[in-house]
Chain A
Amino acid sequence: MTGEKLSGAEIVVEELKNEGVEVAFGIPGGVLLDLYEVLYTEDAIRHILMRHEQCAAHAADGYARVSGRTGVCIATSGPGATNLVTGLANASMDSAPVVALTGQVPTAAIGSNAFQEASTFTITMPVTKYNFLVKRTEDLPKVVHNAFHIANTGRKGVVLIDLPKDVLATKVEVDLHQKETFAGYKPKIKPNKVQIKKAAEALVNAERPLIIAGGGVISTGATEELRHLVEFLGAPVVTTLMGKGAIPENHPFSMGMAGMHGRIYANRAINECDALLAIGTRFSDRLTGWQLDQFAPDATLIHVDIDAAEINKNIQVDIPIVGDAKLALGDIIKWLEKKKTADTSKSVWVQRIKEMHSACEECIKDVGRAGSSISDMFIKEISAILDSNAIVTTEVGQCQMFAAHYYITKKPRTFISSGGLGTMGFGFPAAIGAKVAAPDKKVVDIAGDGSFLMTCQDLATCVENDIPVVVCIFHNRYLGMVRQWQELFFDKRYSHTGLGSSPDFVKLAEAFGCYGERVEKPEELKDALHNAFESGKPAVIDMIVGNEDKILPMIPPGGGLTGMIGVERCKHI
């Protein structure tokens, strides 16, 4: 395309299209007028006007997690960019591929404290995998290509491109679609063969092998390989929060989520195993607890991660493997099949796992009968009503942990939650991104009354853009998780966790033009959800739950895997 003069804004849009971008979530502003001028007539990119930049970032994040493609968000300079920061930090922590475009004051004004100027480049450096401040229009083709390349390769993450107004406006002659990348950026994805052999041997020789699947299994599309390995080895598998969906949770070898709010049997399996393959997980404190001597004390630890810096960071391991989860699982399976050494000598362990598994299932079946909370029952209802393709997003806190514990996830990329940063207000805008990525699937945000109010203004976005997501609010009139901790560890001194009786969520929904319904009993939820989906509108279901419902069992802060509290309810221990 040499010879043709294009403005910076035109170059950006051309390059976005070349990277396969079909959707962008954003809000325009003064310095972005040139970019939005081009988007105005651009049919190949659907722009969804959000009502807050934080939501634009979360929507791009949700879109990325559901589709596996890079999500794109756009914000103007200054407050637009600073509003993005929470969303970018969230996506970074959970390794979701997102590219953010921000406007910036003209290059000549940078540093002059101009109107709506913020140093986006320095502010976003710690919350991105990489960021650019573009000073020359000529650099744009290379910058945009590298942004997408970096965001969606290696350990996926966030890349931000800060675009000064004059860089967008200037017209230049330039070669589009340049492919030159950074000399120092060569993510290692091929696992080392010697390490693979060691890992495979350790697994096959173990009496009590166990697999922990993290988000990496989902983001690399390794769920079939995982299932194959699990069945070949006869090894049970537990997941992290990010790994929910890596294995169907109704699979006989699935033990559910482990960790602080995990299933007690999942934690027990970690404690009892003698070989542990942790794949695509970074051993966050929410998984390991804080007493690391209680974490797989007898096991040979095998850790597969795409990021070498995660190896030996939180947990010291015996067999580190740096590489892509899908390739590593594939290589381990190949090695095992070649040797054909898998046998049934693990039957005692398999038997024990089956017993633990069915005991846990029994407990969950009992929810509603045996002194559990109404919140548990609501999640159980949601789990029973939604089909396996439906996508659930969550806010953060009790609602999230109720969902993690009781919602049975059957497919990858159908459980979307803020794992690392723990961002209240994430679930709803993430649901918007999810619904845009998968318009044919039902999308439900499992929310709390505290979380939802943090980003609920984007109900307007849903209405205006015909994005019918359903928000199910666990309405307990408290910042529930903090209240739970105050109850358990601070002598019920509910300091500033009470939310009072405002608002009326049904009226709030209706004010935006959404469908709203209140339910007070779990058995009413089926009809309410039916009505919500039938309405074809974005919907809010206000579920009145117990003010003092607790999500139990849990590892108390400072505790370890064997020190779960609230286990009285686990009758089958």
Chain B
Amino acid sequence: MQTHIISLLVEDHPGVLTRMSGMFTMRGINITSLTVSPCEKEGLSRMTVAIDGSESVLEQVRKQLSNLIEVVKVVDLAENKAIIRDLCLTKVHVKDSNARSTIMQLAETYGAEIVDATLDSVIIEVMDEPKRIDRFVDLMKQFGVKQLFRTGVTAIGRDTGLER
């Protein structure tokens, strides 16, 4: 089992999300993360789908997605050839001033930002690769994560051209 990130260019029609997610349901494959947004081309949307599965599951998914009429392009984004980002907003319990300073230090180390604070909680925003966010969230669990929101991954392939 491995996480695969698939980037889709789709025609922006009603029902296209249902069609896409329905394909996964039909084949018994679980989507772990999904983002949809407009892209650089008018009339098209970009979807970023993350799934856990073997290479053969990935192959089947890629082909079945290509078969969908409204899917214009399917790209399998390998981790080392893409920039992958996730945004996380989390509300963490702050027991005392000791906890507060540790949380602040950890946040700084992870490039996270404290975007709101009360006497007994802070809201932290962190934007990073999903794995680094996982690690940060695990740390915050020591203090008590009250709420956690993640947008899901979006990713962009790196250019391969190294010379002009």
Q: Which residues of A does B touch, CB under 8 Å?
A: 121-122, 125-126, 129-130, 133, 150, 155, 182-185, 307-309, 311-313
B15 to A308, Cβ gap below 8 A? Answer: no
Contact across chains for A125 and B11 when beta carbons are under 8 A apart: no
A-B contact count (CB 8 A): 42
Report if A184-B73 is in contact (Cβ < 8 Å); known contacts: A312-B59, A313-B60: yes
Residue B129 interfacial (CB < 8 Å): no
B19 adjacent to A309 (CB under 8 Å): no
Find chain B residues with CB under 8 A from A185 CB: 69
Q: Are the C-beta atoms of A122 and B18 separated by less than 8 Å? A: yes
Q: For residue B153, give the distance in angstroms from its CB to the closest CB of chain A.
A: 23
Residue B22 at the chain A interface, CB threshold 8 Å: yes
Residue among A133, A155, A184, A309 facing the most chain B CB atoms (10 A cut-off): A184
- Name the A residues within 8 Å of B52 (CB-CB): none
CB pair A125–B70 under 8 Å, yes or no, is no
Question: In the complex, which residue of chain A has the Cβ closest to the Cβ of B26?
Answer: A126
The 8 Å CB contact of B69, one of A129, A308, A309, is A129
Closest-CB distance, B105 to chain A (whole angstroms): 49
Are B18 and A307 closer than 8 Å at their CB atoms? no
Considering only CB atoms, which chain A residue lies closest to B23 in the complex? A126
A125 to B15, CA, bound (A): 9
How far is B23's CA from A129's CA once the two chains are assembled, in angstroms? 11
Chain A residues lying within 8 Å of B81, measured Cβ to Cβ, are none
Q: Is A182 touching B18 in the complex (CB atoms < 8 A)?
A: no
- State whether A183 and B63 are in contact (beta carbons under 8 Å apart), knowing that A130-B69, A150-B69 are contacts in the complex: no
A313 to B56, CA, bound (A): 8
Q: Does B161 contact A (CB under 8 A)?
A: no
Residue pair A184, B19 in contact (C-beta under 8 Å):
no
Question: A272 to nearest B CB, angstroms?
Answer: 28
Please tell me if the beta carbons of B22 and A182 are within 8 angstroms of each other in the complex: no
Chain B residues whose CB sits within 8 angstroms of the CB of A184 once the complex forms: 10-11, 68-73
A184, chain B: closest CB distance, angstroms? 4
Which of B15, B59, B60, B70 is close to A182, meaning CB atoms less than 8 Å apart?
Answer: B70
Question: Which residue of chain A has its CB nearest to the CB of B56?
Answer: A312
Closest 8 CB pairs of A and B: A309-B63, A184-B72, A130-B69, A185-B69, A308-B63, A309-B64, A184-B71, A183-B72
Contacts of B60 in A (CB 8 A): 309, 313
Partner of A133, one of B14, B22, B64, B71: B14
Tell which of B14, B15, B26, B67 has the most Cβ of chain A within 10 Å.
B67
- B68 surroundings in chain A (CB, below 8 A): 184
- Say yes or no for B66: interface residue by CB 8 A criterion: yes
Contact between A133 and B15, CB atoms less than 8 A apart: yes
Contacts of B59 in A (CB 8 A): 312
CB distance from B128 to the nearest CB of A (A): 32
Interface flags, B39-75, vs A, CB<8A=1, else 0: 0000000000000000010011001101111111100
A307–B67 touching, CB < 8 Å: yes
- A residues within 8 A CB of B22? 125-126
**Given the complex, which residues of B lie within 8 Å of A125, measured CB to CB?**
15, 18-19, 22
B-chain residues with CB within 8 Å of residue A183 when the two chains form the complex = 11, 72
Q: What is the bound-complex CA distance between A307 and B10, given in angstroms? A: 20
